[in-house]
Amino acid sequence: MSGHKIESPSHARTEIALGQIVRSFLVLGSTSFGGPIASIALMEDHWVRRFGWVSREEFFEIFTLCKMLPGATATQVAISLGKRKQGTLGGILAGLCFIAPAFCLIFVLALFYREGWVQAQSSQQTQGTVAGLQAGALGLLMASSIHFARGVLSRWSDAVPVLSSALFVWFLPTWEPLVIVFWGGLSLLIGRRKVLREVGSIGLGVLTLFWVCLRTGALAFGTGMAMVTLLGVEMVQIHQWLTASQFVDSLVFGQMTPGPLVITASFAGFLAFGIPGLFAATLGVFLPGFVMILLILPAVFRRFPGSTRTLESFARGAIPAVVGGVIASALSLVYKAPWDPVSLGIGATAVICAVWIPRIPSWFMIIASGILGWVVSVRG
């Protein structure tokens, strides 16, 4: 894979207009339920099989590169596809259109949550539904952590960065970005080739939220679920902007909406600081992907044509460290959740189904968990 291929749109087979890119990613952003892998599969079906806008080889070249980068993989693939066809403007429009449907929907849901969700929980039946939704979301979170670990850990030596990162995230969560950089840098140096408070001022609080989301988007390798779990530790444990229950509610709505899962950060930002928090979290968590795909990578590949191997080596050390952080973050949220026998059973069922029957859509699992919680509360 050469630098020229990554950055040059002349490599593509078919020219398409900006309007087609806009329509394509508005449709994909509105229909891609099920997390990043499902979103990427829909992009491949739309762009390769149905319209032939890029070849299969081009698509997987883009996908492979984005998997090596930190941030939201599906969003970065969308930006890369748009850039491949219509340059920087195409990349910007593709990314924004893929994000926009989920952003609009999550904004409406966040308004509903703030105005009526808490009050609606007064009845026993609604409390059972909410407990079921939260249990299902946490079950899917644990299952996604398992799938993530399975997909990137290939050798026993990966256990060292995994365990060290997990311990730091559990006991010293503010150190987690340094652990990721340390293991990525160590992998780079030794040349391994294996897949290795609430803030007093609201204005300062919004800036801190933006920085937290920006840092996570720039350092969290893997999938949107990796970013969401690490953001959970920041928002709940370190800064205490949200309770564990509120963040799990954010995850519930993030799982139920189409498009990138990391839109969960927008919902959580709204709960923490209102509309300023909504925009700060959204901008912070997505901005690194735009900057990396549209500015940094083209410059790096022009200056250092063989830099893909360097990126692979760094990612090989960093990704196991991220896995450890993801697992510890997920366990931390599970540990803080208000479990009872019913919600524990629903959560365990969600984990089992998601691990052994991965084709079940996440939105369906969460809705089914809510219905099951409601049924049990009515009969109880």
- Do 88 and 191 share a domain, yes or no? no
- State the pLDDT at residue 59: 83
Find where tokens 């950089």 sit: 181
Q: How many CB atoms lie within 10 A of CB 235?
A: 26
Rounded distance between C-alpha atoms, residue 68 and residue 221, angstroms: 7
Q: pLDDT band for position 209 (50/70/90)?
A: very high
Same domain, 87 and 145: no
User: Could you tell me if 83 and 138 lie in one domain?
Assistant: no
Residue where a domain terminates, one of 93, 117, 152: 93
Task: Tell me, yes or no, whether 143 and 75 share the same domain.
Answer: no
Q: Please give the residue range of the domain that contains residue 289.
A: 131-379
250: in domain: yes
6-62: pLDDT as tens digits: 333 334 456 789 999 999 999 888 877 656 766 777 788 889 888 889 988 788 778
pLDDT band at 3 (very low <50, low <70, confident <90, very high): very low
Over residues 157-190, the pLDDT tens digits come to 666 777 776 776 666 665 656 666 676 667 666 6
Number of structural domains found in the chain: 2
Q: Is the domain of 8 the same as that of 146?
A: no
Q: Name, in order, each residue with C-beta under 8 angstroms of 279's C-beta and a sequence gap of 6 or more.
A: 269
Decide if 159 is inside a domain.
yes
Side-chain-facing half-sphere of 90: CA atoms under 13 Å: 21
Average pLDDT of span 81-101: 94
Among the three residues 66, 93, 120, which one is the final residue of a domain in this structure?
93
Cα gap 279→288, rounded to integer Å: 15
**What are φ and ψ of residue 13, in 5° steps?**
-90, -35
In a domain? residue 119: no
**pLDDT score recorded for residue 21:** 95
Residues 86 and 138 placed together within one structural domain of the fold:
no
Cα 66 from chain centre: 13
Q: What are phi and psi of 221, to 5 degrees?
A: -80, 150
Beta bridge partners of 357: none
The 10s digit of each residue's pLDDT in 337-349 is 667 787 788 888 8
**Which range, of 2-6, 210-214, 255-259, averages the lowest pLDDT?**
2-6
DSSP 236-297: IIIS-SS-HHHHHHHHHHHHHSSS-GGGHHHHHHHHHHHHHHHHHHHHHHHHHHHHIIIIIH
**Looking at the structure, do residues 372 and 230 belong to the same domain, yes or no?**
yes
Q: Is the alpha carbon torsion for 55, 57, 62, 67 positive or negative?
A: positive
Residue burial 295-317, b: 16+ Cβ < 10 Å; e: rest? eebbebbeeeeeebeebbbbbbb
Question: For residues 254 and 264, is the Cβ–Cβ distance under 8 A?
Answer: yes
Three-state SS for 325? helix
For residue 327, which of 130, 164, 188, 135 has the smallest C-alpha distance?
164
For 73, other C-beta atoms within 10 Å of its C-beta total: 26
Residue 75 and residue 142 in one domain: no
How far is the C-alpha of 309 from the C-alpha of 118, rounded, in Å? 50
Nearest to 34 by CA among 299, 259, 248: 259
